[in-house]
Structure 1
Amino acid sequence: MKANRLALLALVVSPAWAIVPPEYQDPSNPFSAEVEMGLQLTTGNTVANSFNGRTKVIYDTLNAKQEGNFRAYFASDSEKITAQQYQLQFQSDRKFADGDYLYGRGDLTWDEFGSFTRQYIFSTGYGFDVLQNSRSKLSFEAGPGYRLSLPQVSADVPKPEDEREVIARGAAKFEHKLQEYTTFNADLVSEVGEKNTVTTLDLSYKNLFFKDWALKVGLFIKHNRVVPEGSKNTDTITTVNLLYTFQ
């Protein structure tokens, strides 16, 4: 009787074992997203305390990667709106072996209170990983691009015209896992043109405290070498946000 039971058990288990082997793992999900919002402190052309939000979407496969970012900054006092800025960034990568890739990118900024109310930047180029391991990743990007900027209205130029120029773009992206639940990111980008050079530094510190929830502290610095009369060259935005990750 015991032998019969063992034979029956083997007959039932064998097909399942053949269909789902013990080393089987679910395929990784190429889609991920982050949503964050919180308090901000803005200095430079805009001085205010308010709220901000950001949404990041990534679709990462073996041969390609698509990434989009949308950020919104808004502030007002008892009388009027004091800050209103929107940023849309998207990048498409075509991957090759050893971490190399070709990219196409767009950076669109609308800022009613900045030195430039509009800045549209489109670029393409080549990227490669310098360092990549379980804790750190460092990559560089370089290539040509095109920039359109609309200066802020001033007393000397009440109706400014668009500034259009070809640029050279260089970027360095660094990510480091300090601990199991703590990550530091630093992105440095410089876009050099004959009329102006725009440099941005995006720093963030993220600490995961419960499942997919994290606390994120960020510092965004943008510097324009040439600005309209009466505007400041450097804008900074400091944020403390609550972040949720979809995976």
Structure 2
Amino acid sequence: MIKQALALTLLALAAHSQASDAEKTPPFWGGAAELGSITTSGNTETSSLNGKFALWRKGIDWDTNYRLEALTSEEDGTVSKETYYGSVQFDRNFGEHSYLAIHADQERARFSGFTYQSTVSIGYGYRVIELDTMKLDLEAGPGYNRDKLENSGEIKDQGIARLVLKYGWKINKGTVFTQTASAEMGGDNSTYKSETGLKSQINGSLATKLTYKIKYVDQVPEENKNLDKEFGVTLVYSF
């Protein structure tokens, strides 16, 4: 069902032509859809699906970013991993470099020991580099974290300090390198995330993307691992 929905979304987006440069004067909307699938057979049969959808609005005073992700993996017909993630961020621009970042996200991952992990935060953002070929944003501020344990149903919440780095480098006309990292540090638990991406353009709107993600949680339920790693290869349609 998820595979069909994501495939239909990608096909629907492909029916639209890419917006012209003249339409890129704020305010404007943009987005991207990603879909990747790997199947192996032999001694072990495995299949995985990785889908992402991002939508953003670049405004004069406010910028908005929405993000949805889904990952499922099966081994010999048994689900071995299933993760869903959603986030929204509103940036209130104060000038060319400074902004207020309002962020909320939630992750639901089977076999992680958590029913869900959610975060809300508000912080100060600064665009250290804002060039056509390179961008670097830094964000810092307080937040609130709420987790639900899968086995016991216990709710754990705490205040946190959230730090974020967002980096983008347009290496050449068709190749873009991205790096994002975040730290959510609390008195009882802390979470660290990193996502490295390399996107190579196929044509005006289609590209392939390699992504490597790391997530480390200081305190996890028994029999669960602190470190989670993910490597993905996806087809990207930008609009």
Identify the TM-score tier after normalising by the shorter chain: 0.7 to 0.9
- Cα distance in 2 between the residues matched to 1:72 and 1:34: 14
Matches within 5 A, 1:31-110: 31-39=29-37, 49-110=47-108
Aligned to 1:198: 191
What's the TM-score, normalizing by structure 1?
A: 0.81
Q: Does 2:233 align with 1:240?
A: yes
**Alignment match of 1:161 (pick from 154, 159, 164):** 154
- Cα distance in 1 between the residues matched to 2:160 and 2:216: 16
**Alignment match of 1:218 (pick from 211, 215, 224):** 211
Q: Spell out, residue by residue over 1:181-237, the C-alpha distance to the aligned partner (whole angstroms, 9 max, x if none).
A: 100000010000011010000111001111100000001110001111111001111
Structure 2 CA distance for partners of 1:27 and 1:37, relative to 1, 3 Å: closer
What's the TM-score, normalizing by structure 2?
A: 0.84
8 Å contact 1:151–1:227 — kept in the other structure? no
Q: Spell out, residue by residue over 1:93-129, the C-alpha distance to the aligned partner (whole angstroms, 9 max, x if none).
A: 1101132100111111001111323101001111001
Matches within 5 A, 1:22-33: 26-28=22-24, 30-33=28-31
- Cα distance in 1 between the residues matched to 2:210 and 2:29: 24
- Cα distance in 2 between the residues matched to 1:130 and 1:182: 22
Aligned to 2:146: 148
Give the letter for the 1:178 counterpart.
Answer: I
Q: State the superposition RMSD in angstroms.
A: 1.7
Q: What is the CA-CA distance between 1:160 and the residue it aligns to?
A: 4.2
**Alignment match of 1:170 (pick from 158, 163, 171):** 163
- Cα distance in 1 between the residues matched to 2:104 and 2:185: 16
Matches within 5 A, 1:105-124: 105-124=103-122
Q: What is the CA-CA distance between 1:27 and the residue it aligns to?
A: 4.3
8 Å contact 1:115–1:232 — kept in the other structure? no
- Cα distance in 2 between the residues matched to 1:220 and 1:39: 17
Give the letter for the 2:220 counterpart.
Answer: V
Q: Secondary structure at the match of 2:65?
A: strand
Structure 1 stretches lacking a partner, 5+ long: 1-24, 42-47, 154-158
- For these two proteins, the number of residue pairs brought into alignment is 211
- Cα distance in 2 between the residues matched to 1:102 and 1:166: 19
Q: Determine what percentage of the aligned residue pairs are the same residue.
A: 27
Q: Spell out, residue by residue over 1:47-89, the C-alpha distance to the aligned partner (whole angstroms, 9 max, x if none).
A: x650110000011112110000000001223342221110001
Aligned to 1:189: 182
- Cα distance in 2 between the residues matched to 1:120 and 1:215: 30
Q: Secondary structure at the match of 2:96?
A: helix
8 Å contact 1:215–1:243 — kept in the other structure? yes
Q: Based on CA coordinates, which of the two structures has the bigger radius of gyration? A: 1
Q: What is the CA-CA distance between 1:242 and the residue it aligns to?
A: 0.3
Structure 2 stretches lacking a partner, 5+ long: 1-20, 40-45
Aligned to 1:8: none
**Alignment match of 1:130 (pick from 117, 128, 131):** 128
| Structure of greater relative contact order (alpha carbons < 8 Å, 6+ residues apart) | 1
8 Å contact 1:196–1:226 — kept in the other structure? yes
Matches within 5 A, 1:3-22: none
Q: Secondary structure at the match of 1:97?
A: coil
Give the letter for the 2:237 counterpart.
Answer: Y
